[in-house]
Amino acid sequence: MLKIEDPSCFWVTMKGCGPYIVDEIEYKNLNAEMNQFYDKSCENVDEVKPVTLEKGQICVVFSEELKCWCRAVIKSIMYCAGHYQTECFLVDYAKYTIVKTKDVRVAMKAFMQIPYRAKKCRLHCTKPVTLRVNFCEDTAKIVPAQRWDNAATQYFQSLLKATTQIKAKLCAVEDNTFDVILYVTIKDEKVCINDDLVSKNFARFVETEEDTGSPAKDQENQTSLNVESFPVKIIDPTLAFRPVLFEEKVPMNLETGRNHVFQKQSNRQYELTREKFLGPTFTESYCWPPVARGCDVVAISHQGNDPFLYIPPVLTFLQSGSCYKALPNRNGPLALILCPGWKKAQLVFELLKTYGRCSRQLHPMLIILGQNKEEAKRVKIQGCDVIVTTPYSFLRLYEHNCLLFCRLCHLVFDEIEVLFSEATEQVFTILDCYKKTIITEEWEYLPHQIIAVGTHWNKHTARLIKEFMNDPYVVITAMEEASIYGNVHQVVQHCVSSQRTAILLKMLDFTPNHLQKVLVFTDSVDEVEMALKSNSIFALKIHKEKEFNFTYVLEHWTKSYASGNHVVLVLTDDCMQFLGITDASCVIHFSFPSSPRIFGQRLYNMSDNFHNESSVDQEHTKARSVVLLTENNICHALGILRYLKRAKAEIPLELHDFTARVLEAEEEKKFARPLCTYLKAFGICKNRTVCPDRHQINLQIDMLQNMPDKITQTSGCVTILPLHIVNATNYFGRIVDKQQDRYTTLAEEINEYFKETSNKIPIKKAEKLALYGLCEETLFHRVQVVETPPKEENLFFNVKIKYIDEGRTRQVQSSQLLHLPARFQHLPPQAVEFIVCRVKPIDNEIEWNPKVTHYIHHKIKGKPHEAKIVLALGNTLWIDPMVRVTRLSDLKMYVNEYSVRSEILSTGLGTDNPEHVTQLQKTKYDQKAPRTTGILF
């Protein structure tokens, strides 16, 4: 491999035999003869000097770099600094060189007998593609392209660099270019580069129109390429994420440093492509460069909870070990990633492991700590460069490890708005500690960076920027969030639809010293125009039915304002993106926006007038948005109202009732949904507004099912047998009847029955909801088919089944199901759901840490426990307490071995939840009682 420009243009030398191949020794001989000849000819220069020179001419020139005479083709001639220069391409070395015109020699025929050693190649049938980003839809597509992307070329180069052997299959020759299929060997694995580029979405496969019938085709055409004699020269290694900020402070050889980073980068790219990564999204393309340069960044986007917004560029920055050389030589992380909960932290940690593994070892650590002090003391952070954790866990660790900040350069907040709402105090404590460290003198030349990503702008984010960041990049791609950031003044006018025009005119009451550029969004442009005309207000208008005349409208929009007049433009939503207005001072929503996204786009027309608190300056025109809310907008008002509340709009009192009604209507629509699991488990659901499930107990729907009669008759004390552990406080199992355990008898009978081989009758077709027998290890169970695949292809398709006496579900092959005689089907399903009350996860988490679930699983599964029922609904029992009672065999005495709730609390991962059952009972829906409205927003 001599030189690589891109996959459609690279130069190689070929080994082996074939019509185009010349032995390496012949070249050596040629070289020697040629050098002897031209060295000698110095005396009679004129004889070997060409009379004329032109582009494309073949000649011989002396290469200063190679210190020898070389065959060359003239690429260009230019006049420079008083003499003519020619740019030549050395045809045996695939190198460009510049020589003075007077130093060019005639190519003697004798030296032109053998072919050029450098062969120009391109990948056979492999054509470039590119990523086309649609900014409006926030989507990215791969489309055919004329040129190769840098990413594709870099990937191609990286493959060739990593290879130990290159083989090429010659497919065609056209215009002195060889079409080849390249096979490389990387770590003992043979890879076809042509196929690899296509499969990684760097290229597309294009069939040739006609077979060129190359003679090479029919021959033994595996040709080895000479790979060892020349180093690969990288043309323009555009390093998208290369940290440049500290370059001047890095005294080492820049060139090697660059290649080093490049190598790491391409490895990650390889990892990215392996995972079918199509390229950065719209937000990522804005976010990654400043993050990779080490700047402070805030990114708010609809995809703001995706850790990919920061992981690749942060990893890239962390590669440049030299940036950190001045740090104290101690233990402590370079980067801290704070996530809102253990689950997210785990995800981020997994991603770091995946994408960090081809680089400098960063030894990321996932730290989730409970309230047990011993646990925090045991944590060792030696050699760890990146910590992924939650604010609570981090502060617990900090209590025992005061060195956590001594090397901390990068502080990342994942889902910033959730962090701020669930752990405000903790986040600011961490920020304060970080600030104290980095204001010291020795930090002046060290990287220090805060990154915050999320989906919502919030007032704490403004404080974060103002007090802790240094000239940050604020990337907001969610337009409605941009308007909160930009302090748009939100006005909500509640009115009946017939009053809308009157309100509009009131809003347009222009005062002469306050010029306005107003956009009125409406579904019926004519209605608004008429109203304005009758009040002698001139307005521009544009809508889809009318022929679009953007130039005219835009011209007047700018002109009349410049001449000191108010300007009003009446338009429909579909015209907005074509106009691209950003300097409106007021937006009136005459027609209600159909979604928060459209609402955001409308507001974006005022983006020039967005001013953040940190840059508050009374001189600015304040952007204003006026929403006209009528009785017709009820169905999509909720989302917008929730948004307006965040935007600190003053919501008229009557609208509170209105939203309460909307919320109630929303909740009523969910009557067929199951009762929300969070509501059941902890008494509240934090995401009520987006949670699809029901949040109201309805005694008609939630009446008891499959419960033994005795439950309701006794004092509520039962013996339970947990068999399937969902999490620390939620299990499925059976109630054991102490007098007459009918299920145990049945189970014995079933197992006895299936012992007989002739009784094991496989079923022909699995029917949904039907009961069957299933053997698991040595025991037979009653199971019910709950889901069948849409199409039955053969007998071996998978069905989802439920163990009706235990409560767990599983996928099995339908051929495993056995016919279950009717007499075994009479006893109702035994599985009951149990919920242990008055305990919830620490740190405002909504899901149990797997550690505590695991612990409880091993403690209780399959063992009888005594429990007192405090609430029973549907197939669920709430129990408090749940204790394990054992009998001391010698004495006739029973002792409480443990209580499940106390066991959970003792892990340090659970905390008291005294309101659990009372909260839950509050949601009881009673038709006679007056409605109580829940939390509105």
Binding positions for Zn ion, rule: CB under 5 A: 676, 678, 685, 691, 693
Instruction: Classify each residue of 306-316 as buried b or exposed e, where b means 16 or more C-beta atoms within 10 Å of its C-beta.
Output: bbbbbbbbbbb
Nearer Cβ to Zn ion (638/676): 676
Rounded Cα gap, residues 634 and 720, in angstroms:
48
Return d(Cα 867, Cα 735) in angstroms, integer.
10
Q: What is the distance between the alpha carbons of residues 314 and 307, in angstroms, rounded to a whole number?
A: 11
Report the distance separating Cα 732 and Cα 722, nearest Å.
6
Which residue shows structure tokens 């497919």?
171
CB of 828 to Zn ion, least distance (A): 29
Given the complex with Zn ion, which of 202 and 678 has the nearer CB atom? 678
Q: Which of residues 676 and 771 has its CB atom nearest to Zn ion in the complex?
A: 676
Taking the complex as a whole, how short is the minimal distance between the CB of residue 425 and Zn ion, in angstroms?
26
Instruction: Please identify, using beta-carbon distances, which residue of 658 and 848 lies nearer to Zn ion.
Output: 848
* Token digits of residue 446: 């060290």
Q: How far is the CB of 691 from Zn ion (least distance, A)?
A: 3
Tell me whether residue 268 or residue 680 sits nearer to Zn ion (CB atom). 680
d(CA 149, CA 449): 30
- Nearest Cα neighbor of 348 from 361, 330, 335 is 335
| Closest approach of Zn ion to the CB of residue 692, in Å | 8
Q: CB 693 → Zn ion: shortest distance, Å? A: 5
| Secondary element (H or E) of residue 265 | helix 254-274
**Between 693 and 741, CB nearer to Zn ion:** 693
Find out whether 569 and 518 touch, Cβ atoms under 8 Å. Answer: yes
**Is 691 or 883 the residue whose CB approaches Zn ion more closely?**
691
Cβ count within 10 A of residue 573: 18
Give the Cα-Cα-Cα angle 593, 595, 599 (nearest 5 degrees).
55
**Comparison of 487 and 876: residue with beta carbon closer to Zn ion:** 876
C-beta closer to Zn ion: residue 73 or 701: 701
Instruction: Output the smallest distance, CB 833 to Zn ion, in A.
Output: 17
Minimum CB–partner distance for residue 769 and Zn ion (Å): 27
Helix (H) or strand (E) holding 34: helix 24-40
Reported residue count of the chain is 937
Kindly state the smallest distance separating residue 676's Cβ from Zn ion, in Å: 3
In the complex, the smallest distance separating the C-beta of residue 399 from Zn ion, rounded to whole angstroms, is 34
State the Cα–Cα distance between residues 91 and 670, nearest whole angstrom: 75
Residue 930 phi, psi (nearest 5): -65, 150
Of the CA atoms within 13 Å of residue 320, those in its CB half-sphere come to 30
| Nearest residue (CB) to Zn ion, 675 versus 867 | 675
Other C-beta atoms lying within 10 Å of the C-beta of residue 295: 18
Q: CB count, 10 Å around CB of 863?
A: 12
Say what angle helices 311-319 and 282-292 make with each other, to 10 degrees: 20
Alpha-carbon gap, residue 170 to 154, rounded angstroms:
23
| Burial of 827 from C-beta contacts in 10 A (0-12 / 13-18 / 19+) | middle
Cβ 675 to Zn ion shortest distance, Å: 9
Tokens 């890879």 correspond to what residue? 191
CB of 340 to Zn ion, least distance (A): 17
Nearer to Zn ion, 588 or 920 (CB): 920
Query: Which H/E stretch holds residue 624?
Result: strand 624-629
